[in-house]
Amino acid sequence: MCGIIGVVSHRPVGGDPATNSGVGQILIDGLKRLEYRGYDSAGIVLADKGRFTSKKATGKLSALSQAVKGNMPVGNIGLGHTRWATHGAPSCDNAHPHFACDNSIALVHNGVIENYQTIKTKLAKEGHKFRSETDTEIIVHLIEKYHKHHPPLESVRRAIEHLEGSFAIGVIFAKKPNILIAARLNSPMIIGLGDKETFLASDIPAILPYTKKVIYLAEEQIAEIDASNSAHRVNIINFKGRKQPCQVSTVAWDAAGAEKEGYPHFMLKEIFEQPAVVRTTSRYYLDTKTNTVKFPALTGMAKQLSAVNRIVLVACGTAYHASLVGKYAMEELCRLPVEVAYASEFRYALPVLDKRTLVIAISQSGETADTLAAIRAAKAKKALTLAICNVLGSSITRDAMVTLYTFAGPEVSVASTKAYTTQITAVILLSAYLAKLRRTLTPKDEKSLVREMLALPDKIEKVLTLNDMIADYADKYKDVTNFMYIARRYNLPNAFEGALKMKEISYTHAEGYGAGEMEHGPLALVDDTFPTVAIAVKSNVYDKVISNIQMVKARKGIVIAIATEGDKFIRTLADGVIEVPETPEILSPILTVIPLQLLAYHTAVKKGRDVDQPRNLAKSVTVE
C-alpha cells in the first residue's frame, strides 16, 4: 500500500533554479500525489557521480519536504517512496529507500515479502548487514549478491526468483546512472514515457504533469529503462528472462483531475464530482437515442452470459457495498440467484463454481489484493469472470475476461465516494443488460429505467445543494460517540456505507443495520444521546421503515431521516430530515448515499480529523 515514483531524466542535474524542476523536485511532487497510498514515512534517493544522496523523514510528506528544503539531493536519476507500514514501525531506519551493504544499489518496494525472514537469516550468514526491521531490505541485498557477477537487469531477475508474496520495486545503481529498473508481482507499477525522461510509479496521478503515455507493467514482468541516449529504450522481460512486448497506452485523465481545484479536501471535491462521473458512466453504457442499454464489450460473451445460472459478486470495503446493491438489482431484473462474498473470504471458502457461474469483481483501483486473488480463483475453476473497475490497465482488468469501466477519474481521498456511485451505476446497467439477454426485462421497462438513469445527475446536483444544511447537522451531533444507520432492501447497503464513512474519517463509532433487525439487539443501544440515521425513501418497504423509526422515537432516540421530497409525514417523526428527489427504488442508493457522505465529511472536519488521509488506512489495499 506504499507509493513509488522513479525518474531518469536528461534535465540539468540540479534542475532549473527558475522552475525548481530537477529530478529531486519531481520525486517530491510525485510523492505528494501518491501520499494517499501511505503516509507513515517517506524518502528519496538520487544518484550523481557514482554515489547516492538520500533524505528520509517520518510522518507525513511535509516532513520530508521540509528536510530537503535548501538541501535537495541532485542527480539525473532517482527514486521516491511514501510508506504504509507492514513490517517495522514508522522510523527513518525502516523508511525507504533501502541500500546494499556497500551503498551501490538503492531500492523502493510496495507489497509484502512473505518468506523474508528465511532469506534474511541466510543472507546474514553470508555477511550481509541489515539496517531495518523491514521485509523490503532483503531484496536489495539479494540484488547485491547477484550483481557481483551479473549486469543490473539479470541481477534483479535472479533476486526476485527467491521472493514469495507481492511486490512492485524500483531499483537504481549508483555507478549505472542511466539504468532504472522496475518489477512487479501482485502490486501495481506503470512506466511513463516523457520527453527525454522516463518514469515509474505506483499510480497514474504521480506522473500526469509530465506525460500521458504509459506502459502498464503486467504480472511477473521486469522493465529496464536505459537512458544512455535521448531515446530512453524500455526493455521488458518476464521472470524467466524472455523478451515481452511493450504496449503503450494513452491516459485520458488530466493533471487537474488529481488536484483539489479550490476545495479544502479531495473528498469534498470528489463528492461534488458525482453528477459528472455518474453522467459519463451511464451515458457510456446507454444508447440515448433509443433509451436502451448497450455493452459492446460483452457482445462476444452474449451466448455464455445467457447460459449463466448463478452470479457471484466479490469485492472489499465500499465496493462490497456496491456489490450488495448489485445483488438486489440482478435478482429483481434477471431472476437469478446472486451471492455477494467478501473477496478476502472467497477463495478460502472453497466456493462451488463452474462454467455457468458468472463471477463479477468490483474494485476502484483494480489492484486490491484480495479481489485479485478472488478473480484468479474463479478463473481456475472455469467460471466466467467480469470486472467493474475505474483504472485502465490495472491488474484486475488484465485477469478478468472482460472489464466494464466506471469513468470516475482519479480518486485521491482514501474514503471512496465517486467510485461507489459509479460502481452502482455500472452494476445496475449491467443487471439490465443481463436481464435483456434472459428476456426478463421488457423493452418498456428498459426504456423507463434508462430515462430515470439519465435524470439522475441533475437529481444528484439538487442533493448537493443541501451541503450547508448537512454541515449544520454534523455540527449539532459531532460530539456523540455512536451512530446507527438503518434501511431496508436497496438502501441497506447504504446503511453499511454511511456507517463506514463515519467510522473511517471521523473516528466516530457507527454501525449499519437492517431496519428489521432493530428488535434483535440494536434497539438496546437507543437513548436520548444516540442518533439513528434512517433511510426512508418512498418504496414498497417505506411503511416498514417508518415503523422502525417509531420504535426508535418511542425510546427517546434521535432520528435523522433521508426521505423523499415532499414527505410531510416523516417530518412529524424525525428530529431532522434530508430530502432527496423521487426516483425508482432501484436507483435510489445513488441519491441517498450523497447526504451520508457529506454528513461523515463535515463531522470529520468539525472534529479536526485528517479527512483525505485517515489514520491507519491507505487508498489501495494491495496486500492481504
Output b/e per residue, 417-443; b: 16+ Cβ within 10 A: bbbbbbbbbbbbbbbbbbbbbbeebee
> Quick check: bond before 410 cis, omega within 30?
no
Integer Rg of the chain from CA = 26
381 catalytic per annotation: no
Q: Do 472 and 602 touch, CB atoms closer than 8 A?
A: no
Range 286-316 burial, b when 16+ CB lie within 10 A, else e: beeeebbbebeebeebeeebeebebbbbbbb
Choosing from 2, 316, 334, 389, which is the catalytic residue? 2
Cα→Cα distances 553→8, 255, 256, 521, 561, Å: 64, 49, 47, 16, 12
- DSSP letters for 47-67: EETTEEEEEEEESSHHHHHHH
SS3 373: helix
Q: How far is CA 56 from CA 186, 271, 301, 314, in A?
A: 26, 34, 51, 38
The Cα–Cα gap between 272 and 274 comes to 5
* Burial category of 497 from C-beta neighbours within 10 Å (exposed 0-12, middle 13-18, buried 19 and up): buried
Could you tell me the CA-to-CA distances from 560 to 342, 486, 535, 536, 570 in Å, in that order? 30, 10, 9, 10, 10
In our burial notation (b when 16+ CB lie closer than 10 A, e otherwise), range 231-244 reads ebebebbebeeeee
Pairwise CA distance, residues 44 & 82, whole Å: 9
User: How many C-beta neighbours within 10 Å does residue 543 have?
Assistant: 9
The crossing angle, in degrees rounded to 10, of helices 274-284 and 443-464 is: 160
DSSP helix/strand/coil, 243 = strand
Edge to edge, the sheet with strand 51-58 lists 51-58, 41-48, 77-83, 3-9, 197-201, 190-193, 213-216, 249-250
Nine-digit cell string for 607: 472534529
Q: Is 327 a known active-site residue?
A: no
Q: Active site residue: 56, 176, 501, 619, which one?
A: 619
Catalytic amino acids? 2, 619
